[in-house]
Amino acid sequence: MSRIFVSAFCQNKNKITCFLDGFIDELKNFGNDVLFFASDYALMDGLQAHASLIKTIKDFNPQLIILFNNNFYDYDFANNFTCPIAVLEIDSVLFFSNKHLLKRNNRTHLFVQASDSIKNIQDVLSIPSKRIHTVPLFTTIKANQAAPTTTNISFIGNLFGFHVNHNNLEEMYLKGTNNSLMQKILSISGNEIFSLNNADGELITNLLNRHHLSINDIIGYLSGAKRIKTLSAISDLGLNLYGPQEWLKAKYFQDLILCYRGNDIISRDDNQRIYNESKIGLSISHMQAVKGFPLRVMDIMASNACLVSDYHGDFDVYFPGVQIPTYSSPYEARDLCQKLLKDESYRRSIVKQCNQIINEKYRFDNYRKKLEQILDVGLKENKEGSLKIIQRRDFRQKPLFRCNIMGVKIQIKSRPPKKQISRRLSHRRIYHDFQEFFNNTKIYILYILSIIPLIKLLLRRYIFSFRQYKK
């Protein structure tokens, strides 16, 4: 094996997440030529790929295609390429893109880590179990005994649910206080996500659509609330909070804002440094992770930090005998952290157990061998590998006209085909994006009135310049 195409969601090619950073780097280190598409869309349902992007992939002529969460445009690789195709689950199947492509082709292999993922995928996609393989992931984080310990507790992660339209949530609260179905949705647990989405799907979808929400919005909102409660309970124990600036939206939790370090930690090197300088590495999972656990669990276990996590059933499957401190409530998380900070020998004994099992079973070489066996490919070459990273903006259409007027950059692009526009944005997303703006007619009128003087000013400048030029 030599040429591998990989596609996954990340903000841009300079902000590749810890696991992806390690994954593509390890592929390159094992002698493979890697073409990595850094998608800036988490969900790409119905989006059409630019022809030049498809041509770039075909010219690369991959011998293996790897899609994380099936994250790519609405393009059927199975009908256009003959090489093996692997979809790697790092989030729930609910967050897969273009699920219809997985339903209709029988060549794609799905790789999952969580022991309950096979059933969930079959429920959602109706894919036979022979195409779904349970293979535990890995970490490329390494402990550094020489690193100084500067932090008691570190948490690296996002604030889920910040993108949800809170006006729509408030409307649903006010109009559905006595609605038993709404109460069921807002009190949903991780174990109920898939059964709720299927059994009561029509009723739930209708209720949420009336308020321009989705089940994924609710899951994200509740997951964010879970993180805020847990972090707030330990904020006075020396917590350092890292992640995007959306954490500042938790404005009613001043204790968390004081713990926020203002750094959007993304890369593997940053994660490794922070965990190695911390006594405790905290994990607070998304609600979708019931038996399965987030990627940061193995990262923390491989470092100098002691893992403290909410409980997941797969801990007993993948880490038998390892005494991972787990909690079921914010108060238990606080008690565990206090105990570990006071008892250094106990903390170090857990770190030693975690380091040992990670080094024995959950490194890239272990993962590579299992992929090779299932896909019947080779992922190790006796040569120097290469890595090329591409992104959507590399394939944007060049503007037909570009100018700069009074420091304002203006560019005009040719209009894409109507078919592409209709598939690119759903009616619900358009309504959701512009709802708040158009609901307030005063803002709309002020906007029109404010732009008229600007147009007059530009016209005066143009006429003045034209007259001067004619002289």
Q: What is the pLDDT of residues 46-100, one digit of tens each?
A: 888 889 999 999 999 999 999 999 999 999 999 999 999 999 998 878 788 898 8
Determine, yes or no, domain membership for 297: yes
Q: How confident is the model at residue 122 (pLDDT cuts 50, 70, 90)?
A: confident
Residue 405 pLDDT class (50, 70, 90 cuts): low
| DSSP assignment of 370-407 | HHHHHHT-----SS--EEEEEEGGGGPPPPSEEEEETT
* Confidence class for position 226, pLDDT limits 50, 70, 90: confident
Which token pair is 343?
A: 């008892």
pLDDT digits (tens, 9 = 90+) for 146-188: 999 999 999 998 887 666 665 566 666 666 544 666 666 666 6
- Which of 339, 372, 395 terminates a domain? The answer is 395
Residues spanned by the domain of 100:
3-138+363-395
Q: List residues bridging with 65 in a β-sheet.
A: 5, 85
- Give me the residues paired with residue 120 across strands: none
pLDDT value for 447: 64
Task: Tell me which of 450 and 18 has the higher pLDDT.
Answer: 18
Inside any domain, residue 127? yes
- Asked whether residue 421 carries a pLDDT value surpassing 50, the answer given is no
Per the CB < 8 A criterion, the answer to whether 326 and 358 are in contact is no
Query: Mean pLDDT across the stretch 201-226?
Result: 72
Asked whether 254 and 316 are in contact (CB, 8 A), the reply is no
The verdict on 17 and 132 lying in the same domain is yes
Confidence of residue 223 (pLDDT cuts 50, 70, 90): confident
Residues 336 and 410 in one domain: no
Express each pLDDT in 275-300 by its tens digit.
999 999 999 988 777 788 889 999 99
Supply the mean pLDDT for the chain. 81
pLDDT at 107: 86
Examine residue 413 and state whether it is found in any structural domain, yes or no. Answer: yes
- pLDDT, greater one: 373 or 424: 373
User: Are 374 and 351 part of one and the same domain?
Assistant: no
pLDDT (0 to 100) of residue 180: 65
Residues 355 and 370 in one domain: no
Give the residue from 158, 364, 156 showing the smallest Cα distance to 270: 156
Lowest mean per-residue pLDDT among 16-20, 261-265, 284-288, 297-301: 261-265
| 160: CATH | 3.40.50.2000
Residue 404: its pLDDT value, please? 58
Quick one: average pLDDT of 414-440?
A: 45
Instruction: Identify the pLDDT of residue 16.
Output: 85
424-446 mean pLDDT: 51
Residue 36 lies in a domain: yes
CB 159 within 8 A of CB 385: no
pLDDT value for 106? 81
pLDDT digits (tens, 9 = 90+) for 20-46: 999 999 999 999 999 999 988 777 788
The residue that leads in pLDDT, 341 or 123, is 341
On whether both 415 and 347 belong to a single domain, the answer is no
How much is the average pLDDT of 126-131? 86
Higher pLDDT, 365 or 94: 365
> Which position has the higher pLDDT, 179 or 439?
179
How many independent structural domains does the chain possess? 3
Of 322 and 419, the structure prediction assigns the larger pLDDT to: 322
> Which one of 395, 418, 437 terminates a domain?
395
Examine the domain organization and report whether 382 and 429 are in the same domain. Answer: no
Lowest-pLDDT choice from 134-143, 262-271, 440-449, 456-465: 440-449
Could you tell me if 324 and 422 lie in one domain?
no
Whole-number pLDDT of residue 427? 47
Position 336 in a domain: yes
Does any domain span residue 203? no
* Among candidate residues 106, 65, 104, the one with its CA nearest the CA of residue 87: 65
User: Are residues 309 and 374 both part of a single domain?
Assistant: no
Can you tell me the distance from the alpha carbon of 402 to that of 347, in angstroms, rounded to the nearest whole number? Answer: 61
**Residues 356 and 426 reside in one and the same domain:** no
Q: Is the Cβ–Cβ distance between 97 and 76 less than 8 Å?
A: no
Domain with 127 in it: what CATH number? 3.40.50
Q: Would you give the DSSP letter of residue 425?
A: S
Q: Is the pLDDT of residue 400 over 60?
A: no
> Both 158 and 306 in a single domain?
yes
* 369 shares a domain with 321: no
Among residues 346, 361, 376, the one where a domain terminates is: 361
**Based on the domain organization, do 425 and 379 belong to the same domain?**
no
Whether 207 is in a domain gets the answer: no
**Which tokens go with 403?**
């100018």
Q: What is the pTM of this model?
A: 0.77
Q: Does some domain include residue 234?
A: yes
Residue whose pair of structure tokens reads 């020998």 in the numeric block: 345
326 pLDDT higher than 90:
yes
